[in-house]
Amino acid sequence: MSNNILNWKNNRDMFPEADEDGKPIVDLESQKYVKVWQGPNHPGVTGNMSLELTISGDEVMEAKTHVGYLHRGFEKLFERRRYIQCFPTCIRMCVPEPDINEYNLARGTEVLGGIEVPEMANWIRMLVLEMARLQVLLRMVPGQAGTMGLGLAGTWGLYYRELILDRFEELTGGRIYHMFILPGGVRGLLPDGFKDRLEENLVKVEAFMKDVDRLIYTNAVFKKRTKGIGVIPADWVDEYGIMGPVARAAGFERDVRKDYPYLYYDQLDFGYNIAHNSDVFDRFIVRRHDVDTTVDLIRQILNKMPKKGDIKAETPNVLHWKIPKGETIIRCESSRGEYLFYMVADGSIYPRRINLRGPSYTHAVAVLEKLLINANISDVSAIMVSLATCPPEIER
């Protein structure tokens, strides 16, 4: 049970009565409460979603997450498109980090279709996934300070993210959406000089993160606004299926790359970034260390990667490829935690079912709605952003 809820139970004068489930009983007709909306277009909302908040004074009595502002029925569209046609759709299920969708869809198709991916292609895939993680973290880590008025940090981080997007454009031809990972392998080799240019970017990122430490990590105001705020009790982690940095900030070792190794992550040297206070500050710190880990992993991948090799296995004509009947589960570690695809093939040229299970639904609905009760309204944005949600992933 969180400290907020304990305080609420100990001081009945400050908060309304609760029902048998512990939910505050709010009577809007009493004029003691006000209903306000945060989002869907608001700098304190992580994308196209909104929060319906019932407040008493400056404290939240009730919170409801609302999505549906960009629903396109992604999973249903998959059932009416050939496997190769699913790629332009799947990447839109998480715009900031689309490559994880590419990998899961491609790998699921390969497993069901019995395709063996060449070694060189797997190394390049791993590089792409870590580059994708890095560019997300360069938005997310400095952006946490933006939720409390330090807009410089988030804007600053966008410049360094652009450096990584430059490398994506050079490698794939696109900055945001890439469709570079396809069934059987990848679309191309690394361009000449790519490793050197990427290393130059990594050096600049490392220098920037030292500035972030001075600007945010040692900032007394940031600490006061984040320490002890949005504490997630340890027993919520398994009960709600919390994962990724949010779980690691609560002291849990959760990382698909280590727990269920895929590609060649078992050949890389890295550990879990752990914290124990499970508040907004610790979630920031875990992701801050994730930046260092990701930079190091990119360097390890570049050093271990073969100098040449095949980048794509031979596959049937993708427009007429009938995948044999079967089902499989494919997972990877996104910047937010475990990202899982459940795929079913019925022997036709269309998928029978592709279902996404990511962190955002759990974090942005089940956890957030409960975590915000009795929070100060000024802390709502900081708490929500610390959970790192992606609305299209909820609305799939």
The pLDDT tens digits of the residues spanning 43-64 come to: 566 778 888 898 888 889 889 9
Work out the mean pLDDT of the chain and round it to a whole number: 89
Strand 351-357, strand 34-38: pairing: unpaired
The number of angstroms, rounded, from the C-alpha of 109 to the middle of its chain's C-alpha atoms is 23
Q: What is the per-residue pLDDT for 41?
A: 73
Which pLDDT score is estimated for 8?
46
Instruction: Quote the percentage of the chain above a pLDDT of 90.
Output: 66
State the number of CA atoms in the 13 A half-sphere of 99 facing the CB: 26
User: Among 85-99, 154-168, 336-350, which is the least confidently predicted range?
Assistant: 85-99
What is d(CA 288, CA 142) in angstroms, rounded to the nearest whole number?
A: 9
Top pLDDT among 154 and 333 is at 333
Q: Is the pLDDT assigned to residue 24 strictly greater than 90?
A: no
What pLDDT score does 10 carry? 52
| 8 A C-beta contact, residue 168 and residue 130 | no
Amino acid 49: pLDDT: 85
Query: What single letter denotes the amino acid at residue 165?
Result: L
Q: Is the pLDDT of residue 257 over 70?
A: yes
Using alpha carbons, select from 239, 240, 234 the residue that is nearest to residue 362: 240
Look at residue 198 in the predicted model and tell me its pLDDT.
97
Higher pLDDT among residues 12 and 387, named by residue: 387
Alpha helices in 114-255 (DSSP H): 119-146, 151-172, 194-212, 220-226, 234-240, 244-248
Look at residues 331, 333, 337, 335 and name the one whose alpha carbon lies nearest to residue 356.
Answer: 331
1 has pLDDT over 50: no
How long, in residues, is the chain?
396
Task: Place 322 in a pLDDT band, splitting at 50, 70 and 90.
Answer: very high
Residue-wise pLDDT for 131-182, tens only, equals 999 999 999 999 888 888 888 888 899 999 999 999 999 999 999 899 999 9
Write down all domains in the chain, each with its CATH number in brackets.
Answer: 1-69+360-396 (no CATH), 86-357 (1.10.645.10)
Structural tokens at position 310: 């095949």
Dig out the tokens for 101 from the structure: 């969708």
How would residue 80 be classed by pLDDT, with cut points 50, 70 and 90? very high
Tokens of 274: 């752990």
The dihedral of CA 94, 133, 289, 248: what is its sign?
A: positive
pTM over 0.85: yes
Kindly report, residue by residue over 290-307, the tens digit of the pLDDT.
Answer: 999 999 999 999 999 998
Q: How confident is the model at residue 27 (pLDDT cuts 50, 70, 90)?
A: low
What DSSP state is assigned to residue 223? H
For helices 119-146 and 99-113, give the axis angle rounded to 10 degrees: 150
Q: How far apart are CA 336 and CA 356, in angstroms?
A: 14
Tell me if residue 36 falls in helix, strand or coil.
Answer: strand
What pLDDT score was predicted for residue 203? Answer: 97
pLDDT score at 68: 83
Range in 14-18, 334-338, 369-373 the model is least confident about? 14-18
* pLDDT bracket for residue 122 (50, 70, 90): very high
**Which pLDDT band, with edges at 50, 70 and 90, does 279 fall under?**
very high
Q: How distant, in Å, are the alpha carbons of 39, 47, 365 from that of 391?
A: 12, 6, 10
CB neighbour list of residue 349: distance below 8 Å, 6 or more residues apart: 82, 83, 319, 320, 321, 322, 323
Distance (Å, rounded) from C-alpha 126 to C-alpha 297? 9
pLDDT at 328 over 70: yes
